[in-house]
Structure 1
Amino acid sequence: MLKTKYQILFLAFIVLGLYYPALFSPSCSTDDSYMINNLLNMEDFSIRALFFPHGAGQYYRPLLYLSFVFDKYLWGLEESFMHLENVLLHLVNTLLVFAVTRQLLKLMRQEADNWLPLAAALIFAVHPINTEPVNWISGRTDLMAGTFVLTSLWLLLESLRSAKVLPAFLSGCALLLGCLCKEPALFFAPPALFLVLCYDRMEGLHQSIRARIVRGAAPVLFIVLGASAYLLMRSSALSSKDSGIAAVTKQIQAPPTDILNLARIVAKLTGFYLKKVFLPFPLNFGIVEVANLYVVPGVLFLLVLCWLLYRRSVSAFLVFSGFCICAPSFILAVSEMSWTPIAERYLYMPSACFAIWLVFQGSRLLKDRLTWAPVMVSALGLLLTGSAYATVSRGILWQDNAALFADTLKKSPNFGVARNDLGVALLKQGKKEEAYKIFKSGGVGNFQAASLNIAKVLIEEKDFGAAHKLLRERYKEHTRYHAKVLDMLVQVLEAQKANAKTPHESRVLNRELAEVICEQYQATGNPFYQYRLGLTHLSLDNRSSAYRCFSSAKAAAPATAHYRPAAIRLAQQFRKQAP
């Protein structure tokens, strides 16, 4: 068997080789572009505001956001470097799977230098289900959470093996850090507590109740403290409204009929994700529908899980961990909190548990059947080769947004988000006619981003009336695209004003324009909008209001602002009209 250092080098070679194409991928129009634009426009930064904003929201992932802030200041949000970070995180997690498997073997008093750790790490490294979080910049949330959860598990195993307090304390800290990257990390706490209860039964290792209490007290204490610390931090940070907790509470308080439907959905998704972890194909970035037939394997799996928990074995722990970490995604499916209700990225952390479980099961089969060894090794080789090919092919697909969303649309033809993003990708490639055809098709959906793209087409075709109507409908919805809605509404109103046929029509448009520009100023505090508002008040012959706006713009505008000289001149010109 290769020495440990050579195994680590081999794993690094495999991961970096498989995901090398990711370095040449652009940012994805789904989430990546919006996040990068926000970071580029971020003028100041506060650690305290990041961790304790005292606001509202459904996600609380300050450590993840902090990593993106570092990207801004370290290498200016260069896409290739951001992709490289994802690849390196996946490499770290692969090595952690290797280390956790060795630690499990030590706890079970088996030889840690056998082939199991390398096999588990290789299966995790090449598993095609992991291509989405690794190739997608925004998928870093799963990678970082996975790093800390696996670290927490390694430290927990070390604490149980050595009966030392420090690893237990660090395990709780790692769990907290994982939760600050993505919420499902919190759901590793129940399996961690289960491990403390069942570790003594692993492969005939039996201890007295007193010995188990002494050895397990510190791990239990620090795991509970880590989870509690996250909940307290989240409660403080989202003190105005926690939409995530509210969604969970709503499902718990649902009527009995809704509970039965929720149980059906949970069973169906369990069966679907179970199939995905064993057979991930077809890979799809936008899964929106799951066949009801998956209810059957889902129910069977849940029954088997109950039996495994009763047995209190290492297999029970691994299967229970994968299920618990995946379970929060069920809430997303029923509450529509995410742009896609079902996703392959939700299986990133569970796939690590699956890889370790699979090699342990293979080892158990070979225990008394050594003649099967050549067959098992050949099967593993074929599995790894096929998975590696699929992983590389998928990575190459991610290099082209148009190809990625065309593939997504082929597999989910009714997914409006994918159709809209395909149009965006084609537009960036200069294929204007194809993009506009997609936006006008009516199949892009009725959500904000798609509506804005439809409005762009209407503006391009000078159908300002239809664009105005659409934007006014979206104006009522205060989503993350509201600022863009205001910008486009100003553009449309200016165009309509230029084509106004009567003074009355022009006055009505100017009043609406003043309302929109005023909201832009209130939202941003940018003095340029005060200058624009002053010009609009002049069109309404409201000179006193115009003077106040010009004076405000003059006082607040930067010395180099292009509109400042005009604001100064107009403020002086209309000073006499001031009240």
Structure 2
Amino acid sequence: YPYFTNRLVLCLILLVVSFAIFIPSLDNEFVWDDVTFIVDAESYLETFDFNPAFLIQKPKSSVKYYRPFFTLSLVTDYRMWGLSPFGYHLTNILLHSACTLALYFMVLVLGREFRLKSPDAVAFLSSLLFAVYPLHVESVSFVSARADMMAGMLLFLSVGFYALSYKKLLYLIPAALSLYLSLYTKEVAYSFPIVLLGFDVISRRLFNRINIIKYPLLAVLVSVYIVVRLDSFLSGSDLMKQSIVRGLSGIDAVKEFLVGFLGSYLYYGWRFIYPYDLNHFISTIPGGSAFYITLSAIFVLAVVAACIVSMKKKENYTAFSLLLLFATLGPAVMIAIFPTAITRFAERFMYIPSAGFCMLAGYAIVLIGSRSGVKWL
């Protein structure tokens, strides 16, 4: 009972903080893609028919984005608010708050799963940092960027319930449903199965007998999505025409790919550490010199090594946090190499991966505090 009461209070604090910090955005107008997806699409939003089959309807042609669940959120807002920006921004803030609470749930489950000494404290501090993290401004204040928050919330719920499913198999249902819906929310969800599989590897459950049920179920759901999406994927030739390696071959193409891959990870990694000087129009990032390439390679190898060492030392929470950060950042890195978005680099791409960084930061604060004599929850 005391634990339930404490957690309820902590959830209320997270809810208030995550909402209050973005209240100024309620006065914002529609910007950038908001005009395309909302204002210019008013007739579509007005005549949209709420049909569950909408989530499994095949796109009629090749498209860069296929996000019907995100579209449903805009339709819902339009039915409630019309073209009033206030309502859409209110929904974005509420989504951020929901995402913060979902992260708290996930970290709390993982903390107990990985036997942290103060799981409640780690979960609260990690979620509090996530709630106020500066790099989230674009994701929350830009209506059309809400797909990141929706996908993030679904990922955190999926991981939390997936971990619980080893104790009670029924939890696999919300875990699988969350994963499935995330695929229809934003393409970053392509990395989510890797996160779930990584959890099994880190927790030494990869060959657990219950996975005879879990893996086929998840594979079927992913396969259904692929079948629905298959005909609308951009072709390899279209991707190559837009890529940074177009016109190159052999060693030159491999070199350019590695420069873009490693350099993007280093750039985003630095932004996690220094989340200031916000820039909504990132045209280019540093790179190209031998020093920068070397530094990028060292950074990526260091993260991979830290994850492996953490696993061997059974610091499973640290290993999973690094995996979450690295895996969910992968799609953003691929966009830098194969630009399917207008912007090759964006702070909104860091919304979900930042959860891994906040998890590490929250854990570090608790460890340092414990060694200093602080008594946590």
TM-score, length basis structure 2: 0.86
Q: What is aligned with 2:221?
A: 226
Q: Which amino acid aligns with 1:94?
A: T
Q: What is aligned with 2:189?
A: 185
1:129-528 matched pairs, under 5 angstroms? 129-160=135-166, 162=167, 164-200=168-204, 212-235=207-230, 239=231, 241-243=232-234, 255-256=249-250, 257-292=252-287, 294-311=292-309, 312=311, 313-366=316-369, 369-370=371-372, 373=374
1:245 CA drift (Å): 6.2
Q: Which has the higher contact order (CA 8 A, sep 6+)?
A: 2
Q: What is aligned with 1:82?
A: 88
- Please list the CA deviations of residues 62-84 of structure 1 after superposition, one character each: whole Å capped at 9, or x if unmatched: 11011111222222132101000
Q: Which amino acid aligns with 1:32?
A: D
Kept in 2, the 8 Å contact 1:129–1:344? The answer is: yes
Rg: which structure is higher? 1
1:92 CA drift (Å): 0.5
Instruction: Report which stretch shifted further, 327-336 or 87-96.
Output: 327-336
With over 3 angstroms needed to count, the CA separation of the structure-2 counterparts of 1:280 and 1:303, relative to structure 1, is same
- Please list the CA deviations of residues 385-444 of structure 1 after superposition, one character each: whole Å capped at 9, or x if unmatched: xxxxxxxxxxxxxxxxxxxxxxxxxxxxxxxxxxxxxxxxxxxxxxxxxxxxxxxxxxxx
With over 3 angstroms needed to count, the CA separation of the structure-2 counterparts of 1:356 and 1:220, relative to structure 1, is farther
Q: Distance in 1 between matches of 2:273 and 2:281?
A: 19
Give aligned-pair identity as a percent.
23
1:248 CA drift (Å): 5.5
Q: Distance in 2 between matches of 1:135 and 1:158?
A: 33
Count of residue pairs brought into register by the alignment:
357
Q: Distance in 1 between matches of 2:308 and 2:191?
A: 20
1:297 CA drift (Å): 4.2
- Please list the CA deviations of residues 122-154 of structure 1 after superposition, one character each: whole Å capped at 9, or x if unmatched: 100000011101000111111111111111111
Q: State yes or no: 1:26 paired with 2:29.
A: yes
Q: Which amino acid aligns with 2:217?
A: F
Kept in 2, the 8 Å contact 1:83–1:135? The answer is: yes
With over 3 angstroms needed to count, the CA separation of the structure-2 counterparts of 1:223 and 1:111, relative to structure 1, is farther
With over 3 angstroms needed to count, the CA separation of the structure-2 counterparts of 1:19 and 1:154, relative to structure 1, is same
With over 3 angstroms needed to count, the CA separation of the structure-2 counterparts of 1:71 and 1:298, relative to structure 1, is same
- Please list the CA deviations of residues 300-330 of structure 1 after superposition, one character each: whole Å capped at 9, or x if unmatched: 2321233244343332222122122111122
1:242 CA drift (Å): 2.2
With over 3 angstroms needed to count, the CA separation of the structure-2 counterparts of 1:81 and 1:139, relative to structure 1, is same
Q: Secondary structure at the match of 1:243?
A: coil
Q: Which amino acid aligns with 2:194?
A: P
Q: Which amino acid aligns with 1:230?
A: Y
Q: Distance in 2 between matches of 1:151 and 1:247?
A: 35
Q: Which amino acid aligns with 2:169?
A: V
Kept in 2, the 8 Å contact 1:193–1:220? The answer is: no
- Please list the CA deviations of residues 456-485 of structure 1 after superposition, one character each: whole Å capped at 9, or x if unmatched: xxxxxxxxxxxxxxxxxxxxxxxxxxxxxx
Q: Secondary structure at the match of 1:274?
A: helix
1:168 CA drift (Å): 2.2
Kept in 2, the 8 Å contact 1:196–1:219? The answer is: no
- Please list the CA deviations of residues 325-360 of structure 1 after superposition, one character each: whole Å capped at 9, or x if unmatched: 111122322333222110000000011121112222
From 11, 35, 52, the equivalent of 2:14 is 11
Q: Which amino acid aligns with 2:337?
A: V
Q: Distance in 2 between matches of 1:362 and 1:68?
A: 38
1:91-106 matched pairs, under 5 angstroms? 91-106=97-112
- Please list the CA deviations of residues 97-141 of structure 1 after superposition, one character each: whole Å capped at 9, or x if unmatched: 111111012112345664211101110000001110100011111
1:89 CA drift (Å): 0.5
With over 3 angstroms needed to count, the CA separation of the structure-2 counterparts of 1:27 and 1:188, relative to structure 1, is same
- Please list the CA deviations of residues 477-535 of structure 1 after superposition, one character each: whole Å capped at 9, or x if unmatched: xxxxxxxxxxxxxxxxxxxxxxxxxxxxxxxxxxxxxxxxxxxxxxxxxxxxxxxxxxx
Q: What is aligned with 2:58?
A: 52
Q: Distance in 1 between matches of 2:176 and 2:238?
A: 26
Kept in 2, the 8 Å contact 1:267–1:299? The answer is: yes
Q: Secondary structure at the match of 1:224?
A: helix
Q: Distance in 2 between matches of 1:220 and 1:301?
A: 33
TM-score, length basis structure 1: 0.57
Q: Secondary structure at the match of 1:213?
A: coil
Instruction: Report which stretch shifted further, 104-113 or 353-362.
Output: 104-113
Instruction: Report which stretch shifted further, 327-336 or 347-356.
Output: 327-336
RMSD: 2.7
Q: Distance in 1 between matches of 2:236 and 2:158?
A: 24
Structure 2, gaps ≥5 residues long = none
Q: What is aligned with 1:567?
A: none
Kept in 2, the 8 Å contact 1:269–1:295? The answer is: no
With over 3 angstroms needed to count, the CA separation of the structure-2 counterparts of 1:16 and 1:64, relative to structure 1, is same
Q: Which amino acid aligns with 2:131?
A: A
With over 3 angstroms needed to count, the CA separation of the structure-2 counterparts of 1:362 and 1:224, relative to structure 1, is farther
Instruction: Report which stretch shifted further, 252-261 or 101-110.
Output: 252-261
1:93 CA drift (Å): 0.8
Kept in 2, the 8 Å contact 1:172–1:224? The answer is: no
1:12 CA drift (Å): 1.4
Q: Secondary structure at the match of 1:115?
A: helix
1:5 CA drift (Å): 1.2
- Please list the CA deviations of residues 191-246 of structure 1 after superposition, one character each: whole Å capped at 9, or x if unmatched: 2102112214xxxxxx8x8xx522444443333333333222211xxx2x422766
Q: Distance in 2 between matches of 1:273 and 1:244?
A: 28
Kept in 1, the 8 Å contact 2:77–2:88? The answer is: yes
Q: Secondary structure at the match of 1:186?
A: helix
Q: Distance in 2 between matches of 1:190 and 1:276?
A: 23
Q: Secondary structure at the match of 2:209?
A: helix
Q: Distance in 1 between matches of 2:286 and 2:223?
A: 37
Instruction: Report which stretch shifted further, 301-310 or 244-253.
Output: 244-253
